[in-house]
Amino acid sequence: MNELLAVINWGIIGLEVFVFAFLIVKFWKLKFHLFFGGRDSLKTIKDHELHSCFLTALCVLTFHFIGAGLTEILLSLELEKMKLRQLFYCVQIATFASLAVILYLLHSIRHCTFSRAALNCMYIIVLIMTANLIQLVARGYLDFNGLSPLYRVISVTGNLITLVVVAKYPLSQVMSLRKSDEA
């Protein structure tokens, strides 16, 4: 089981590196338009999709590292078991809620429509927040561990699907670039 988790972890790291490299290349190519190019820079649906996918990938990758750091810090705290569980799940809920709010605000500030990737990420965020809320009540207050396997599946699967959704746009761009080079 640990070997499978190690392989999944390396796959996640590989996807993150790919998406990050794509973001750097796009950022370099478009200069600061991805961040600061006002409402007028979004003229076509493709522009909106590019900006939305960029904002989504940037937020997801940033919060992935923030969440991992917070988890490490929380698990190193010396608290009573129930208090640690309550704090852990509350922080998880707050982190995912912050991700959703920031993603929404960035789209609003840029007057950018939500891409399919951004919407799917928001749905997954709500699912993971709900799973964390259920775990907060079950494990944090009732000391019931029966839902832990389901929580793990939802959490890991949700995070993997989010990374795949975020990586889909860069992958499709790279594939279309390859097809145009071959033609």
Give, rounded to a whole angstrom, the gap between the first and last alpha carbons of the chain: 44
The mean pLDDT of 28-44, rounded to a whole number, is 68
Q: How far apart are CA 178 and CA 168, in angstroms?
A: 15
pLDDT single digits (tens) 160-180? 899 899 999 888 888 888 877
pLDDT at 5: 66
Q: 23 is written with which tokens?
A: 């973001």
Res 28 pLDDT > 80: no
Q: What is the pLDDT of residues 79-131, one digit of tens each?
A: 999 999 999 999 999 999 999 999 999 999 888 899 999 999 999 999 999 99
Total-model pTM: 0.85
- Contact between 114 and 145 under an 8 Å Cβ cutoff? The reply is no
Mean pLDDT of the chain: 87
Higher pLDDT pick, 21 / 36? 21
Distance CA 31, CA 54 (A): 13
Q: Higher pLDDT residue, 81 or 7?
A: 81
Furthest CA-CA distance within the chain? 64
Measure the CA–CA gap between 176 and 164, rounded to whole angstroms: 18
